Amino acid sequence: MAKARYYTVRTKRHRLRTGRLLFLLALCALLLSILLSVRLLSSLNAIQDRSAWIEALPAPTAAGPEHLLLYSVSDSNNRGAVTALVLLAYHPAEERFRAIAVPPDTLLGVQEHGFMRVAEIFGTGGRELLISAVSEFFALPIHTYLEVDETFLPTALDLLQADSVWEKLQITTGGDILAVIHAEGLTVAEQLERRQNVLAAISAEVLNAGTLGRVRNLLEVSPLIRTNMSWRELLTAMGKYKDTSFAEAVSMTELPGEEQVQADGSFWLVDTEAIPDLANWLTDQQATIPRRQITVEILNGSGLPGVATAVAGKLKAEGFNVLRVGNADSSDFEASKVISRIENMDAAKAVAIMLPGAQLLKEENPEKGVHVTVIVGKNYLAE
């Protein structure tokens, strides 16, 4: 009897010890999980810029658009050069963006630094000076910024190791990507398109997983990005537009001006008179004549078929009333022309924003029956 009682007590003690051990193991696992989660969140939180000057960036108003500055740099940690820059306005009612592509060699006046190329501003004063200079130039507040560090692009692509990425970008390793986006002879629009394709491929791969998988994928590529958005806001935005093409979501134009060559290299000289109208277009503030009332005829003066139709589609998408499309009396127009057929130039200025490099003219002619005549020249094809 005593022996049986001894074995019963011993068994109970053994069970208690086993239970305590399992409890300790579970507690250790929980603590390890919390520690890893804290590290994960800490790494993800590093994406969000919490610098003191960020607090001074205004929040978008309920009625107005949100202004975003999207740019890439050659080396974020060492204040490299800006390699691409786009100012966007998000219009929530339409769920669409309008965007202005700013060439990196654009000359801007920067407080306390004089005139500088956009490419050099980041290296001189970092994000704060770059955002301040762009905001002041366009006389528009910047609400959000997103910076892409190109030095991490090869690593990010190699980490994702997705066949779809290689096929989409037509590369074999991440190391090939810098040569693709920095190929010589590309226009500003082509450079932006290549960068957009790269970022779209990376975004699609990050989102190609469940909730936890998306967080892990974002963590892997987190050194690529710096922004004043939280990582949750960033993932939400990526998910919202993952099935939307860039062409469908964004109406883009280029900063008007012309290239100037000096001893120390070339720079883009901005047509400053066009900036107020360009800013109004970006923020969707109507010109004196509403777009739907601006009548336009489009004539092909480039010699290549289909160009006038393409411009007509672009202007119709922006709300202009295109009455007719045809051919100009010559196919040798080197530069596009936007001609006001009425005394008020506002309508022609609104149209000219959509054709960077076009000459803005006034030749009043009521018999034309339109507010504006557009002659599409060969320089439109080179954009």
| Structural domains in the chain (count) | 2
**367 inside domain:** yes
Q: Of 171, 155, 152, 154, nearest to 163 (Cα)? A: 171
**7 inside domain:** no
In whole angstroms, give the CA distance from residue 306 to residue 310: 6
Q: Of 229, 236, 178, nearest to 211 (Cα)? A: 236
Angle at the Cα of 132 from the Cα atoms of 126 and 137, rounded to 5 degrees = 130
**111 inside domain:** yes
113 is in which domain, residue-wise? 52-273
In whole angstroms, give the CA distance from residue 318 to residue 12: 80
Does 325 lie in the same domain as 212? no
Structure tokens at 13: 């003690």
Does 171 lie in the same domain as 113? yes
> Domain of 130: which CATH number?
3.40.630.190
E strands, 187-314, where? 225-227, 250-254, 257-262, 265-270, 295-300
**1 inside domain:** no
**32 inside domain:** no
State the average pLDDT for the chain: 83
Does 235 lie in the same domain as 311? no
pLDDT 10s digits, 147-197: 999 999 888 888 877 666 677 777 887 788 888 888 888 877 778 888 888
Does 141 lie in the same domain as 80? yes
**DSSP conformational letter for 370:** S
**DSSP conformational letter for 60:** P
> Domain of 328: which CATH number?
3.30.70.2390
Provide the pLDDT for residue 16: 52
Last residue in a domain, options 218, 249, 273: 273
Does 158 lie in the same domain as 265? yes
Does 231 lie in the same domain as 126? yes
In whole angstroms, give the CA distance from residue 359 to residue 80: 35
Angle at the Cα of 132 from the Cα atoms of 78 and 233, rounded to 5 degrees = 75
In which element (H, E) is residue 317 found? helix 307-317
Does 242 lie in the same domain as 131? yes
pLDDT grade for 34, boundaries at 50, 70 and 90: very low
Provide the pLDDT for residue 15: 54
For the chain, the first-to-last Cα distance in angstroms comes to: 99
The residues with which 376 forms a beta bridge, in sequence order, are 300
pLDDT 10s digits, 216-226: 888 888 899 99
Place of tokens 């901005």: 270
Provide the pLDDT for residue 71: 96
pLDDT 10s digits, 56-101: 899 988 878 999 999 999 987 788 899 999 999 998 887 888 888 9
